[in-house]
A and B are shown apart, each in its own frame.
Chain A
Amino acid sequence: MSARASETSPGLWTLAWRRLQQDRVGMTALIVVGCYLVVVLLALMGWVAPDWTREVGVNYAPPVFWADDQDETAQPSQAGQALSGPVPLYGLQDPLATELAAIRAQHPGAQEATEVPRRLSLPLGGDKWGHDVLTKVIKGSETSILVGLVAAILATLLGTVMGAVAGYFGRWVDDAFNWLYGVFTAIPYLLLVFAIAAVLQQKGVVTLVLILGLTGWTGVFRLVRAEYLKHKSREYVLAAGAMGASHMRRMFVHILPNTSHVILVQLSQNVVGFIKSEVILSFLGFGVPVDVVSWGSMLNEAQNELILGKWWQLAAAGVAMAILVTAFSMLTDALRDALDPKLKY
């Protein structure tokens, strides 16, 4: 009586996770990216940086560690300017005279100025309005990372589906998708993005996601198509076909898991690329609207501040972005190594 094997061999994902755990750089990068994502989640729920528009400091409040270098123009904003005495109407009738008289009778202090206390320095400094730069960096990370993630998912989804269809069916279907790919890649990427942004004329996070997602699928398409061309004639796919599996099943149940390492690495690379693209678009004025803060819009504001010697907003947004992009790039490298099926051990 033969004994049944009590242990099953570890799957692709278990092996990949084990390999990633042994990669110290990869794990450090994962922790850093994880921290950023936690901050984004907390900001989304309103637990941190709930009100970045509040003016808490004087104009261009310096960082606390730089507070000696106070600027001569840094003064508290005035919250109101009281009128003194009645303003002559030159014989005219005020259409709102009754309403204003009633308001002034009920609220005699409505016209008086109220001074809001402002801080002379802030942890990472303040911008020209006295917004806290630290709060802006946190809120800005929410926009930049969300745009990067969602646009990358959209681009990867598009690239994967089109690459799978083109690679699997081949012939005229492949030709059609390759023509589309050729059109998109023939135009320099940033120029294409700017052209679409200029045409849309609508600012906003959704617009940014659409612009980046609809233009960034080409890299994924090229690699996935190549994988499908390779896999479609392999024995396991032919066997699935012989067993009556439909085309859709063969494409997305049998072949897709075997190309997942390529797709995941591309997704990770796209996240990094799109975070940078958001920053560039916002820096050039095509990005988020004025009521949304992102790292790119902070860098846009900082371009004029830097020339006035107010470096802290640029430094804060730049460092935050540099750390995330570096960590994400390292994580991508580690993922590529961990997911490569040829590196089984």
Chain B
Amino acid sequence: MINHMGRFLLFLLGLWVMGAGAATPEKVLHLELSAAETGFDPVMTSDLNTASIEQQLFESLLTYDYLARPVKLIPRLAAAMPSVTDQGRTWVFTLKHGVYFSPDPIFKGQKREVTAQDVAYTLMRFMDPKNRSPYKFLVEGKIIGLDELGEAARSSGHFDYDARIPGLEVLDRYTLKIRLKTTDYNFAHAMAQPMYGIVAREVIEGYAGDTASHPVGTGPYYLARWTRSSLMVLARNPNFRHEVWNFDPGNDPDNQRIAAQMRGKLIPQIDRVEIQVIEESQSAWLSFGKGELDMIGLAGQFAPMALRGAHLKASLAQRGIRLDRISDPSIAYYFINQQDPVLGGMSKEKIALRRAIFMAQNDEEMIRVIHKGQAVRNAYPIPAGVAGADPSYRSLLDYNPGEANLLLDRMGYARAADGYRRQPDGSPLAVRYTSSLSSQDRELDEMMKKALDRLSIRFESEKLKFPEILKAERQCRVQIRLSAWIADYPDGDNFMQLWYGPHTHENNGSCYQDPVWDRLYEKTLTMPDSPERDAIYHQLARMLELNGVTKVSTTHIRNVLSHPWVIGFKAHPILPSVWSLLDIDVSRVPQP
């Protein structure tokens, strides 16, 4: 009798388990990346696509409030905002207790807690010469003793991670004191970057040489599957701490709607995030239309299909699709490699040639034809919404092919019998434009070809995959390119550093090294956002134009479309991804 009863209870229990399983189907978010990722070691990352994934895998000390505008820093791994003393030169961070790395064989089955020593180790990695970190500029020249460690490693070939330096003092298991050489108004922003996500030393050393394939962080997700340049699957980190969605919506009605949907829910709500690399925007658009992608960043060329002016078309709105539209804190800018044997150099002839090439670029046509109105003309290196921006700034390099041609004529770039110009010494002149293989970049190739045709300069095209373009850029092998930069933090310094001489082989794709410019820029590093700093920024921007280094072209308008089953989304100007803060209403997801 007892046996029968036991079997019956087991049967009921089985039914309950099956029922419970059926009642909570897995929540999966399907997304796309428009360019391939470059690998998941944060210290080596510089592109937005990779950073958007690392934002979910790793955690920095600080982050940005999801709903607050203008953006506001809040603690992430830190238990509270740091205590700052000594006129902004001493920062003490205290970590949350009980924060664990995602499981990995390196930890031999043990749960591994994050400590202050991990934070010190993570910061040290940025100055290790072998990492060639594109984001070392956020700590370089700032932390007492750290640059010296980097210098010693450069000469010895070995970075001493066990060295104790005055700038990084581990006070106890959870407390780190950072001492800066001078006041740095952006240091807190630096500590909120996904590239500064905390890593464990034993993981980095255990996977030495292949750290980009073994991301082990404390974020809400871990990398469960990775097919390079194709598919990334993020799964819920089983070691993630108990954290509740609790952002202040303020008085904004849209924020209040989101807060009403999300407040009190555990982070993350979504079990799995599947990210496909879809380089062709048409394929992404069609996948979104069929519901295969839950969200999409709308490419400009499809804006006429989805938008009427700044609003969603009625046909999409009726399907419950939502539009989040913000002006990105970003710039698209042409740069010319200053070390290139054909275009580089500071002679008058070379400067004139570069300026003529920039003056032949028709930005208005690019906005209208390629971006379909989803960009605005912006000539200043600092975009709107970022401290130091100047929307009224006027460029010296506005579209003016007539004057550009006269300038070339005057400087001795004569046209030969074939109709193309030669260099002043009579040698052939051709300009090599680097871009990716996507169809949108083919349109940009056509733009550049048209611009060079206006000047009778021969056009050459170099097609590379996106990660290879970044590599070539760091090696100063790109001749001219249209690049883009989006704010890591809302301060003009994040943009001006793109032309700082010592950042050559990191973020300074133009490989511009001008001591006068560098000295002026260094002055701004110790200045707060102020009219005095703005005055120097204006000089820096104008010098870039006068010397023919760069031409800032446009600022992009971000349109994110999401299906009605995606809950809680609001486009954030700085955070590269917010997937762990969203939810999915599985009852509304169409069944295949």
Contacts and interface: CB of A to CB of B under 8 A. Distances in A.
> What is the size category of the interface that chain A forms with chain B?
35 or more
B546 A103 contact: no
Contact of A304 (B282, B351, B355, B445): B282
Contact of A92 (B285, B459, B546): B546
A96 B539 contact: no
A188 interface: no
Contacts of A109: 402
A111 B400 contact: yes
B263 interface: no
Interface in A262-290: 285, 289-290
Contacts of A99: 348, 352, 407, 410-411
A203 interface: yes
Given A81-B398, A96-B355, A107 B368 contact: no
Interface stretch (A13-21, A82-90, A253-261, A330-338): A82-90
Contacts of A81: 364, 398-400
Contacts of A285: 437, 439, 442, 463
A78 B364 contact: yes
Interface residues of B, number: 50
A75 B400 contact: no
A300 interface: yes
B461 to A, nearest CB: 6
A291 B546 contact: no
A290 B461 contact: yes
Contacts of B439: 285, 300-301, 303-304
A142 to B, nearest CB: 19
B402 A95 contact: no
A89 B365 contact: no
B400 A80 contact: yes
Chain A contact surface mostly: loop
B544 to A, nearest CB: 11
Interface in B333-379: 348, 351-352, 355, 362, 364-365, 368-369, 372-373
A118 interface: no
B538 interface: yes
A313 interface: no
Contacts of B411: 99
B396 to A, nearest CB: 5
A90 B539 CA distance: 6
Interface in A171-206: 201, 203
B372 A73 contact: yes
A94 to B, nearest CB: 6
B394 A94 contact: no
A110 interface: yes
Nearest to A305: B301
Contacts of B373: 73
B406 A110 contact: yes
A290 B372 CA distance: 21
Contact of B446 (A92, A112, A290, A308): A290
B403 A59 contact: no
Nearest to A102: B410
A126 to B, nearest CB: 12
Contacts of B551: none
Given A73-B372, A92-B546, A96-B348, A103 B403 contact: yes
Contacts of B463: 201, 203, 285
Interface of B: 281-282, 285, 301-302, 304-305, 348, 351-352, 355, 362, 364-365, 368-369, 372-373, 394-396, 398-403, 406-407, 410-411, 437, 439, 442-443, 445-446, 449-450, 453, 459, 461, 463, 535, 538-539, 542-543, 546-547
The 10 A-B pairs with the shortest beta carbon distances in the complex, nearest first, are A290-B445, A110-B402, A110-B403, A103-B406, A90-B539, A90-B538, A81-B399, A87-B394, A90-B542, A285-B437
5 contacts: A81-B400, A92-B543, A95-B348, A110-B403, A203-B461
Interface of A: 53, 59, 73, 75, 77-78, 80-81, 83, 87-92, 94-96, 99-100, 102-104, 107, 109-112, 114, 128-129, 201, 203, 285, 289-291, 300-301, 303-304, 307-308
